[in-house]
A and B are shown apart, each in its own frame.
Chain A
Amino acid sequence: MQERLMTLQEEAVEKIEHASSLKELQDIRVEYLGKKGPITEVLRGMGKLPAEERPKMGQLANEVREVITTKVDSKQEKLEREELDRQLSNETIDVTLPGRPIRQGNAHPLTAVIEEIEDLFIGMGFSIAEGPEVETDYYNFEALNLPKNHPARDMQDSFFITEDLLLRTQTSPVQARTMEKHEGKGPVKIISPGKVYRRDTDDATHSHQFMQIEGLLVDKNIRMSDLKGTLTLFAQKLFGEEREIRLRPSFFPFTEPSVEVDVSCFKCNGSGCSICKRTGWIEILGAGMVHPNVLEMAGFNSKEYKGFAFGMGPERIAMLKFGIDDIRHFYANDLRFLEQFKRA
C-alpha cells in the first residue's frame, strides 16, 4: 500500500510537471485528488489493514495528498502567470503614437510681460492702478504740467474726440488721478499698465495703439538715487542679475530732473551687438523726479513730498526679450504667433 502511494505520488508529480495548460492541470487535480481518485481509494482500503498500521498509512496518504496539492497549486500559479503574460503581450501598444491632445491656450506675450513687471513691483510693495482710456485734456495733459499750447504737446499727436476728451496718450493720467485720491497724504506707490493711443501710422516700429506701464512712488524722502536703485533692481530681475543701468538727462514735462534709462545689453553684456546698436546699452525707460507742479496740482505739498516716476513700453520689452521684429505681430493675433508664448 505504501508502495502504491509512492507510485501514485511519482506518477502525479510527473504529470503535473508535464501539464501545459490550466485545463490539463485541472484534470490532473480531479484525477488524483478527486473523490473518485486513487488516494481516496487507498484510504478507503485502509480498513483492511491491521489497526496498528492504519495511523501510519493514513499519515502517509495525507502527506502524498499534500505534496500533490502543493505541486498542482504552484503549477497552476505558473500557468496562470504564463497565460496572463501571453494575454498582455497581445495588448502591446505603440507608445510612439501621439497622445490625446489636451487643450491649452496661453496669455498674449504683452500680457505676459506686463504681469511679470506687475508682480516684480508688487513684490516691492506697489499696487496696480488703472484708469479710463478716454481721458480729459486736464488729466492727460494739464495735470501733468502740459498746459494748452505747450510745445511738448507736439511730442505726441493725439486722437481727440471732443475739444476736451481724447484717447489717452500715456498712462500717466492714472498717476494724477491716484495722487488726487490720496488727498495729499503719501505714500503713493503704484504701477499703472494699460492701452494708450497716438496718431502714428502703423508700421514695423509704430502702432497707433500700444501698451504702456508706468510706476509712481511719492513719499516724504524720495531721492533720485532711490529711482536708480529701484530701476536697477527691476532691470536685474527682468533681464538678469548682471544688468546695470545708466541714466541720461532727458526731458518729460511731468518730471524734473528727467532721465532716459539704459540697461546694459543682455545679449552681448555690453560689448556691442546688433540689438544694442553696438553701444552696449539699450534704452528701455523714461523716468524722473515728479515735477513739483504735478505734485501740487494733485494736492501734494511739494516742499514736504517728493517722488519718482518711470514709464516703459511692454511692446519694446517683449520685442527685445523674445526677438520680435515687427510691432504689428502683437495686434494681428496670428495663432502661430500667439502659441509661441506658452512658457512666457
Chain B
Amino acid sequence: MLVSYNWLKEYVDLDGIQPDELADRITKSGIEVEGIESLSQGISGVVVGHVEKCEQHPNADKLNVCQVKIGEGEPVQIICGAPNVGTGQKVPVATVGAVLPGNFKIKKAKLRGEISNGMICSLEELGVDVKMVPKEFADGIYVMQEDAEVGKNALSYLNLDDHILELGLTPNRADCLNMIGVAYETAAVFERKLTLPKPSLNESDESASDYISVKVDDFGDNPYYGAKVIRNIKVGPSPEWMQSRLISAGIRPINNVVDITNYVLLEYGQPLHAFDYDQFGSKEVLIRRAEAGEKVMTLDEEMRKLEPHHLVITNGTKPVAVAGVMGGADSEVSDETTTILLEAAYFKPSIVRQASKDLGLRSESSTRFEKGIDRNRVYESANRAAELMAEIAGGEVLEGIVEAGPRFVDPEKVIVRGERANKVLGTNIETKEIHEILERLGFSYEHENDEFTVEVPARRTDITLEEDLIEEIGRIYGYDKIPATLPEGATTTGGLTPSQMKRRKVRRYLESVGLYQALTYSLTTKKKANAYHGLATEEEPAFISVSMPMSEERAVLRRTILPQLLEVIQYNQNRQLNDVAVYEIGSTYLTDEGNLAKHPNEHQKLAAIFSGLWHFHPWQQEKKPVDFYVVKGVLDGLFKKLGVSGRIEYQQVKREGFHPGRTAIVLLDGKQIGVIGQLHPADQKEWDIKETYLFELDLDIVFDTDVEPVVYSALPRYPSISRDIALILDQDVSAGEVQSGIKAAGGELLKEVSIFDLYEGEHMDEGKKSVAYSLTYYNPEKTLTDEDVEKVHSKVLSYVKEKFNATMRG
C-alpha cells in the first residue's frame, strides 16, 4: 500500500509530524513502513506557465516557438517539441535555473537559431513513472487544469510536493489497505484528531429501483449487494487532484468514472464496479454461482471459462462480471456511457480468492475482498462514489440504493480483561491506560469490573479473540515498555537425545580425521535420484516428486546423498581443487512401499566422498592418493567411536554405479547398513572427475542399536606370546574371512589376530596369494608357556589348512 502524506493529512492532523517521524512511529507500533519516497526528487524552479502564443519554429518542422507567461513580467520564449502544445494551455514550466530529477539543470539555450528560456515539461520529465502517465499526455507535455495560477509552484498542483510511504502490510492488517484505515491507525498512534469524509448526496426524484432490481441467490456467498444508478454522466478525464493521487498510489488514471471507483477503492478500501447501464442487458441484477462451462468475456478481452464454485454477477440470463474479480467487457464503461450502474458489494473472501486463483487474476479489488473489507463501509462507499460522480462527472444520482442483504451488521463483541492482558504481556498497565488506548483506537466498549467489552469495528477483521485485543493494548502501550524477565516455573534439564549426541560425535570424528561437512539440496533430478541408491526397482518404483517443480534440476526428492556429493567433487575439481574429502548428514526419502499417498520414510544418512590425494607432503616425498582402504580406515575408526566395531562386517558386492571389484556392503550384526566402494570408472568419466571413493550409511540403524557401556578391562599382568604365520591362499579366499576363522579357532587364549603382510604376483603360483598374520596369545591368569601356546597354535594351523585350503609359506 502506497500512502500519500498529503492525502493522509486531510484525515488526520499531522501538524508537526514530518514523514520520517510518521514512518518511524507507525513502524514501531506495527505497520511497517518499508520506504519513503519524496516525489519532488529534488525538483526546483518548476512553475505554472500560460502559453500565450505558440507558432511553428521557422527552421524546424517539429518544434514550436512559444511565448509563455510565467509570472508578473513579460512572457518568456520557450522552444517546445511536444506535439500537444498549444495556445491557451496552462503548463508546468522548468524555468532557467530549475532542477529536474537526476539533477538535470535547465539553462538558457538556442535551438536552431531561436532562444529558449526554459522547458515545458511532460510528467515523465517531472519524474512520474511513464506507466502512470494518463494516455492523452503519454507522448507530450502535461496540460494542467485551467484554474492553475500562473507563476505558482507547479508541483503542488501536481501533488509532486508529496512524500509517499510504502507500507509493508502483514496479512492481518487489511484494514490499512486504504487511506481511512491508515488514518485510524495514525490517529491512534499519535493521539491526533481524525476527520473522515461524509458523503452528501443531492439525489433526484426518480428512484433507482425503477431502473434496476437486485437478487442474491445465496447470502452466504454474497451477504450484501447494493446498486446505485447515476444518469447523465459525461465521461472524460478526471481532475488533476484525483489523477495525481491515483498516480501517487500507483494507479494510472483512465477516465473520471473508472478513476472514481479506483479513488474510492483507495480511500475506503471498497472495491466498486461501474457497469454501463445501457449495455447491461436487463433491469435485473442476479448474483449466483456460475454454471459449469459458462463463459464470460472479461475486461481484458479474455474469454473466461467458469465453474460452479465461482460467483458471478448476471443480468438475469448471462454473467456480466466475476464477483469481486473482474467485470465483463460487454458492459464496460466507454466514452459514450451516460448511465452508470454502480455496484458496491460484500463478497465472501474465500470465494473471491478461489476465483482469482483459478482465473489467474489478481487485482487491487480481489486482494482486498480476499483479505477482508469493512462490511459496514460498503454502503457509505457507494454514496461516496455517487457523490464524486455528481461532483466531477456531472452525474445525476437517482434516489436510493437498490440492495439485497442487510446494509449493516452488528459489530462483534470481544472481552478483554485487564489482568489477563498484564499476565500475557508481563506488564502493569493500569485500567486508566487501557481506557485511553481503546479510545485512541476508536473502539467502542463497556467497562465493568476488570472486563472491557469491546465492539470491534468491522474494519478490524483481525480482532476476534481476547489475545487480539491484548496485542492492540500492548502495541499502543509500546513494546519497548515491556520489561525483560526470565520464565518462572520448574527448571528443566534439557539437552540432547542419545541419537543427537551420537550425531555430534560422528561429526566431530569425521572432521577430526579431515573431512569437511557439506550441505546440499534435497531436491534433485530424476536421473540422480535413480542412481547409486542400490535399491532394486521392485523395492522402490516411485519417485517422490513435487507437484510443480521450479525446474528439472529440483524435481524429485533424493534417495541417496551420493549424487549430490559427486556434484560437490565435480564443482571443486572443475576449479582445480582436486583433493576433496567431504561428508554430509541428511535425510533421504523413500515412499512407504511405493504408496505415494502415504507419508514417505525419511532416513538419516551419512555419506562421504573422497577423491584426489589423502595425504600430501611434497618436500618429504610423501604422497598418498585416496584408495579403498583409506576410506575403509575412516569407517573402521567411526565404528570404533560408536562402539560397534566388533559387530561390523564387509561383504564384497556388485552394485550399479560402483567398481565391480572394489565395493562392499557394510553389515551391523548381519543387517545391511550401508555401502562402501569406488565409483565405477565409467561413471567417473561421465562426471568428468578423478578417481573417487565413497560410502553411505543409514545412521538411524546405527544409532538405534544398543551399545555396551564402556567397561575398563584390566591391563595385562603377564607377558603375551606372538606367533607369525604366512599362509598361501587361493586368490578368491578373502583375508578377512581367514582372519575370522583363525580368531574362532584360537579360542580364548588367542587375544588378537592382525594382518601384517600381503604378497601377490611374482614368485607366487597362478591364482595364489600370500597373507601373513600375527597371532597374539595371552592368558590373564598366568604366564603362558611355549607348550601352552603350541597346543592352541597347532590347532589353529590345522584348522586353516583344512578350512581354507591354505599352505604354510617359508
Binding site for B on A (CB under 8 A): 97-98, 100-108, 110-111, 115, 118, 121-128, 130, 132-134, 136, 149, 151-152, 154-155, 159-162, 164-165, 167, 187, 189, 195, 197, 199, 201, 208-209, 217, 219-226, 228-230, 232-233, 246-251, 256-260, 289, 291-292, 306, 330-336, 338-339
Contacts and interface: CB of A to CB of B under 8 A. Distances in A.
B60 to A, nearest CB: 48
Contacts of B568: 333
Contacts of A217: 487
Contact of B30 (A107, A154, A250): A250
A297 to B, nearest CB: 14
B471 A292 contact: no
B361 to A, nearest CB: 15
A338 B425 contact: no
Interface of B: 27-30, 32, 170-173, 349-350, 353-354, 370-371, 423-427, 465, 467-468, 470-471, 474-475, 479-480, 482-497, 500, 504, 507, 510-523, 544-550, 554, 557, 568, 571-572, 575, 577, 580-583, 586-587, 589, 596-597, 599-600, 602, 614-617, 619-620, 622
Given A125-B491, A127-B494, A225-B482, 5 more contacts: A118-B496, A127-B495, A151-B371, A226-B426, A229-B486
B467 A161 contact: no
8 contacts: A111-B517, A118-B496, A122-B496, A151-B371, A195-B522, A259-B479, A291-B467, A306-B423
Contact of B425 (A98, A221, A223): A223
Contacts of B489: 187, 219-222
A104 B512 contact: yes
A287 B368 CA distance: 27
Of all A-B residue pairs in the complex, the 10 with the closest CB atoms, nearest first, are A103-B514, A225-B426, A249-B30, A223-B426, A251-B170, A257-B471, A229-B484, A247-B479, A125-B492, A249-B475
Contacts of A124: 494
A167 B550 CA distance: 14
A128 B496 contact: yes
Given A103-B514, A106-B517, A107-B517, A122 B494 contact: yes
A165 B598 CA distance: 9
A199 B30 contact: no
A306 B424 contact: yes
A103 B589 CA distance: 32
B517 to A, nearest CB: 4
Residue among B170, B496, B554, B614 with max Cβ neighbours from chain A (10 Å):
B170
B492 A339 contact: no
A168 to B, nearest CB: 11
Given A251-B171, A333-B582, A226 B486 contact: yes
Given A134-B600, A208-B523, A187 B490 contact: yes
Contacts of A335: 516, 572, 577, 580, 582
Nearest to A115: B504
A159 B555 CA distance: 10
A230 to B, nearest CB: 7
A128 B544 contact: no
A338 B517 contact: yes
B30 A110 contact: no
B172 A251 contact: yes
B602 A133 contact: yes
Nearest to A289: B424
Contact of B171 (A155, A228, A334): A155
A219 to B, nearest CB: 5
Contacts of A133: 522, 587, 589, 602
B484 A232 contact: yes
A233 B426 CA distance: 17
A263 to B, nearest CB: 13
B29 A128 contact: no
Contacts of A257: 424-425, 467, 470-471, 474-475
Contacts of B470: 256-257
Most chain A CB within a 10 A radius of its CB, from B424, B484, B577, B583: B484
A102 B554 CA distance: 38
Contacts of A223: 423-426, 485
B517 A132 contact: no
Given A122-B495, A226-B487, A251-B170, A108 B480 contact: no
A164 B480 CA distance: 41
B353 A149 contact: yes
B480 A246 contact: yes
A224 B521 contact: no
A161 B617 contact: no
Contact of A339 (B474, B516, B547, B617): B516
A248 B168 CA distance: 13
B636 to A, nearest CB: 16
A285 B523 CA distance: 27
A336 B572 CA distance: 9
A160 B546 contact: yes
A188 to B, nearest CB: 9
A151 B546 contact: no
A333 B350 CA distance: 44
A98 to B, nearest CB: 7
Contacts of B370: 151
A117 B494 CA distance: 14
Contacts of B547: 159-162
A226 to B, nearest CB: 4
Contacts of A334: 571-572, 575, 577
Nearest to A97: B619
Nearest to B462: A251
Contacts of A260: 32
A108 B517 contact: yes
A325 B510 CA distance: 28
A247 B482 contact: yes
Given A250-B30, A256-B471, A98 B619 contact: yes
A167 B546 contact: yes
B593 to A, nearest CB: 15
Contacts of B494: 121-127, 189
B518 A149 contact: no
Contacts of B617: 98, 100-101
B486 to A, nearest CB: 5
B522 A222 contact: no
B545 A132 contact: no
B427 A225 contact: yes
B465 A292 contact: yes
A106 B516 contact: yes
A18 to B, nearest CB: 45
A75 B597 CA distance: 95
Contacts of B32: 248, 250, 260
Nearest to B616: A101
Contact of B554 (A208, A258, A291): A208
Given A101-B617, A121-B494, A249-B475, A225 B517 contact: no
A282 to B, nearest CB: 15
A250 B479 CA distance: 11
B103 to A, nearest CB: 22
Contacts of B353: 149, 151
A116 B547 CA distance: 36
A208 to B, nearest CB: 6
Most A Cβ at <10 Å: residue of B350, B467, B496, B580? B467
A101 B484 CA distance: 50
Contact of A149 (B28, B29, B350, B475): B350
Given A161-B546, A228-B484, A292-B465, A149 B354 contact: yes
A271 to B, nearest CB: 17
Contacts of A132: 599, 602
Given A127-B495, A128-B500, A160-B547, A104 B511 contact: yes
